[in-house]
């Protein structure tokens, strides 16, 4: 098994097993599965962004959410993506180049240690294990303005009658993420909930996926409560 240094030397870096599929879609920079587009749009709508806002897309992957974020913040706004994998970030950068977006950039870095300039009006974490990492959230939330909107999309175990049948399949697929990613459970938004007020939960795809949204909590207003 190759070491991290060997992988970095070959431009692969910390890339989860599923991430290597990025090479297959690299010739198609704007590719995004059709079934997920409506959820991306809903996620960006929940961010409640305005013209001129700055928004973070942490764990941005190949940049599937960029078109929706760009439209939301307009030409005077800025979209900053953070992606730890060099393999996947290539795709995101190619998407930016193809679309000619001047105010979109991808920072190839670990969310736990990335250095960010200024503050941001919104945070999107779409299908990324960053939502589980206390150290990463601590670092990222330092750069969010007061009451900034936070939206998280991810997988969860389902209590739905039909969805429960698919729980073992989803659990198996989850093994294709980083080895440090916690095991899938029914309420994977708990770590984020500590930092967000009035976290609202929406379930999708038979309860196997979720959108969690809320505003950055103040020191006195922090809560662990959420509503479905």
Per cent of the chain over pLDDT 70 is 86
Domain ranges of the chain: 4-227
Give 172: exposed, middle or buried? Use CB within 10 Å, 0-12, 13-18, 19+: exposed
* Mean pLDDT for the stretch of residues 150-174: 93
Q: What is the pLDDT of residues 90-102, one digit of tens each?
A: 999 999 999 999 9
Q: What is the pTM of this model?
A: 0.87
- What lies within 8 Å, CB to CB, of 69 at 6+ separation is 44, 49, 55, 57, 79, 104, 124
Q: What is the pLDDT of residues 68-78, one digit of tens each?
A: 999 999 999 99
Q: What is the pLDDT of residues 34-70, one digit of tens each?
A: 999 999 999 999 999 999 999 999 999 999 999 999 9
- What lies within 8 Å, CB to CB, of 76 at 6+ separation is 51, 52, 103
Band the pLDDT of 12: cuts 50, 70, 90. very low
In angstroms, the CA 39 to CA 6 distance is 37
CB 116 within 8 A of CB 41: no
For position 6, what pLDDT does the model report? 38
For position 62, what pLDDT does the model report? 95
4-227: CATH, from 3.30.230.80, 3.40.50.300, 3.40.1110.10, 3.40.50.150: 3.40.50.150
Band the pLDDT of 227: cuts 50, 70, 90. low
In angstroms, the CA 174 to CA 16 distance is 11
- The token pair that represents 73 in the structure block: 């913040």
Task: For residue 104, list its beta bridge partners.
Answer: 79
């Amino acid at each position: 098994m190759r070491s991290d240094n060997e992988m970095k030397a070959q431009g692969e870096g910390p890339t989860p097993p599923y991430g290597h599929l990025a090479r297959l879609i690299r010739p198609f920079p704007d590719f995004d599965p059709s079934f997920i587009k409506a959820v991306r749009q809903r996620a960006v709508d929940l961010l409640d962004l305005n013209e001129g806002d700055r928004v973070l897309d942490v764990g941005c992957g190949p940049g599937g959410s960029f078109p929706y974020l760009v439209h939301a913040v307009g030409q005077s706004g800025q979209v900053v993506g953070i992606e730890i994998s060099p393999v996947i970030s290539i795709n995101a950068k190619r998407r930016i180049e193809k679309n000619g977006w001047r105010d979109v950039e991808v920072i190839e870095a670990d969310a736990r240690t990335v250095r960010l300039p200024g503050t941001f009006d919104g945070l999107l974490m779409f299908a990324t294990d960053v939502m589980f990492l206390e150290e990463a959230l601590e670092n990222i939330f330092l750069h969010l303005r007061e009451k900034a909107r936070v939206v998280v999309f991810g997988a969860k175990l389902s209590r739905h009658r039909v969805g429960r049948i698919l729980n073992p399949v989803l659990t198996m697929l989850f093994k294709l993420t980083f080895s440090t990613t916690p095991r899938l459970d029914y309420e994977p938004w708990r770590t984020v909930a500590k930092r967000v007020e009035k976290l609202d939960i929406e379930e999708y795809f038979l309860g196997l996926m979720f959108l969690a949204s809320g505003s950055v909590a103040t020191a006195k207003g922090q809560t662990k409560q959420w509503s479905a």
